[in-house]
Amino acid sequence: MPTFPVLILDPGNFTPYYDANLCQALAGLGAKVEWVTSPYLFEPVVPDPCVCERHIFFTLFDHPLLRPLTNRVRSVPRLRRLLKALSYPFEMLNLTRELGRRSPGIVHVQWSLIPWFDALLYRQWRQRGWRVVFTAHDIMPRNPQGWRVLLLGWERAQRRWLYASTDAIIVHSAANRESVVALGAATERVYQVSMGDLGSFSGPPLPQKEARAQLGLDPDKPVALFFGLIKPYKGLGALLRSLPMVRERVPDMHLLVAGEPMEPLAPYQRLIADLGLGAHVAMHTRYIPSELVPTYFCAADLVVLPYLDISLSAVLVTAYGYARPVVVTAVGGLPELVENGITGLVVRPGDEAALADGVATLLSDPARCHKMGERARQLAEERHSWPAIGRKTLALYEDIWNGHRGSDEER
């Protein structure tokens, strides 16, 4: 049983299910765990009672007197980000003062909102005896567009300083490890730990016909699923442009798009109309609450991740948990999670013909889809279970708490 406290810090609550499962896995191993975060934007995420959850960030959003105003701000992403940017430094400084009054332990940071500023604070925390672990869910900002491309040099400098300001960095794949090391992180401080599945938030699977009936889908047509927040780097446009080629081999196929749009939908809607895909694409463009996640995955025959840029994706691990094969692009750590030809297919990013071939190959062979899905579920149990992740993470904490620095190979 560890003698030090553990703070899981995710100011923006960007990965609530990951955070909560990690907290619960560590608490199950005897760690005293606090989850320090903010209210999740989309739905309540309640951890196990053994985990102390504290909302100390962006509490202005929930102040009774300001709630009518902040409810409007929530629906306008730019205003929401501005309000958070204004309040975040003060809340991080408050946390810094709190840590200075407490007996030190481990602070495990999941996301940094202002990397250069956070790096300064991490150094202060370490001077006061705290050990800082950082999980690099995204190594760099993903697929920057327009004027943001001009800031890539500054972003690299920020990340380099951020990673240098920690005791250890966790990544989820060997490709992510190489990227972090390329930014200047010392190899012996970079640890690879698998990405976890939905864990305690994973609802039970249900029969495919029942799932399709709930979603109003034809029970007999092949269905591919694109799932998650809709953002430019996820390649939905490339997937839509590939569908006419898929339909040449699987004429009755259907694409189910499910997720909250974080970009304008009009270009996708025009593309669907221009390609004559209206009868073959269902757009469920809203946030999918956790209790409906099993319905969407169980309704599909396969899950498509046509990403243009990514470090890794929880959608892939979720697909495995529901015994669904995947078609993914060879970006970031995605290829490492796929046994090509066994749990899914890996295609070149941006290659719409290759994407179409992968989707059509699996949709036209239900027996192969089923076999690949069963192997995917086995892989999820072997590599992505939270008890194993908790043990490896706690061993990492104990290493750095005791002053040891060593690569995964040495441990």
Q: pLDDT-derived band of residue 411, with 50, 70 and 90 as boundaries?
A: very low
* pTM listed for this prediction: 0.90
CA gap 279, 276 in Å, rounded: 8
CA gap 270, 203 in Å, rounded: 35
Looking at residues 192-200, what average pLDDT do you find?
A: 94
The neighbouring-strand residues paired with 135 are: 170
pLDDT tens, position by position, 138-158 = 888 765 555 566 677 888 899
CB 373, CB 355: distance < 8 Å: no
The neighbouring-strand residues paired with 171 are: 192
pLDDT at 380: 93
State whether residue 83 is helix, strand or coil.
Answer: helix
Non-local CB neighbours of 78 within 8 Å, separated by 6+ positions: none
pLDDT tens, position by position, 29-46 = 999 999 999 988 788 888
Non-local CB neighbours of 35 within 8 Å, separated by 6+ positions: 8, 10, 19, 20, 23, 47, 51, 52, 53, 54
Query: Is the pLDDT score of 76 beyond 80?
Result: no
* Architecture (CATH level 2) of domain 5-196+385-410: 3-Layer(aba) Sandwich (3.40)
Rg from Cα positions in the chain: 22
Same CATH fold assignment for domains 5-196+385-410 and 200-383? yes
Looking at residues 110-139, what average pLDDT do you find?
A: 96
Residue 350, φ and ψ in degrees, nearest 5: 80, 0
pLDDT at 403: 86
3-state DSSP percent of the chain in helix, strand and coil, to 5? 50, 15, 35
- Burial per residue of 253-271, b for 16 or more beta-carbon CB atoms within 10 angstroms, e otherwise: bbbbbbbebebeeeebeeb
pLDDT tens, position by position, 233-270 = 999 999 999 999 999 999 999 999 999 998 899 999 99
CB 24, CB 48: distance < 8 Å: yes
Q: pLDDT-derived band of residue 329, with 50, 70 and 90 as boundaries?
A: very high
CA gap 255, 223 in Å, rounded: 6
Non-local CB neighbours of 155 within 8 Å, separated by 6+ positions: 140, 141, 144
309 closest CA partner among 291, 332, 327, 325: 332
* Residues making up the chain, counted from first to last: 411
Range list of β-strands (E), 203-253? 223-227
State whether residue 5 is helix, strand or coil.
Answer: strand
Token match 């327009």: residue?
146
The dihedral built from the CA positions of residue 140, 144, 148 and 153, taken in this order, carries a sign that is: positive
Query: Is the pLDDT score of 75 beyond 80?
Result: no
CA gap 378, 362 in Å, rounded: 19
Looking at residues 155-164, what average pLDDT do you find?
A: 92
* Whole-number average pLDDT of the chain: 91
CA gap 101, 103 in Å, rounded: 7
pLDDT tens, position by position, 212-231 = 999 999 999 999 999 999 99
Q: What angle do CA 321, 261, 145 make, to 5 degrees?
A: 105
pLDDT at 409: 43
Looking at residues 51-70, what average pLDDT do you find?
A: 73
- Chain centre distance of CA 202: 15
Range scoring the smallest mean pLDDT among 68-72, 167-171, 249-253: 68-72
pLDDT at 338: 96
Give the helix/strand (H/E) hosting 24: helix 16-28
166 closest CA partner among 103, 107, 226, 223: 107
pLDDT at 40: 85
Amino acid code (one letter) for 193: V
CA gap 321, 380 in Å, rounded: 6
Query: What is the maximal distance between C-alpha atoms in the chain?
Result: 66
Range list of β-strands (E), 320-372? 326-329, 344-347
9 closest CA partner among 33, 34, 36, 27: 36
Q: pLDDT-derived band of residue 83, with 50, 70 and 90 as boundaries?
A: confident
What are the residue boundaries of the structural domains of the chain, listed by start?
5-196+385-410, 200-383
pLDDT at 140: 81
Query: Is the pLDDT score of 178 beyond 90?
Result: yes
CATH number of 200-383: 3.40.50.2000
CB 252, CB 283: distance < 8 Å: no
State whether residue 102 is helix, strand or coil.
Answer: coil
Query: Is the pLDDT score of 407 beyond 50?
Result: no
Query: Is the pLDDT score of 112 beyond 90?
Result: yes
CB 123, CB 165: distance < 8 Å: yes
180 closest CA partner among 159, 155, 154: 159
DSSP 257: E
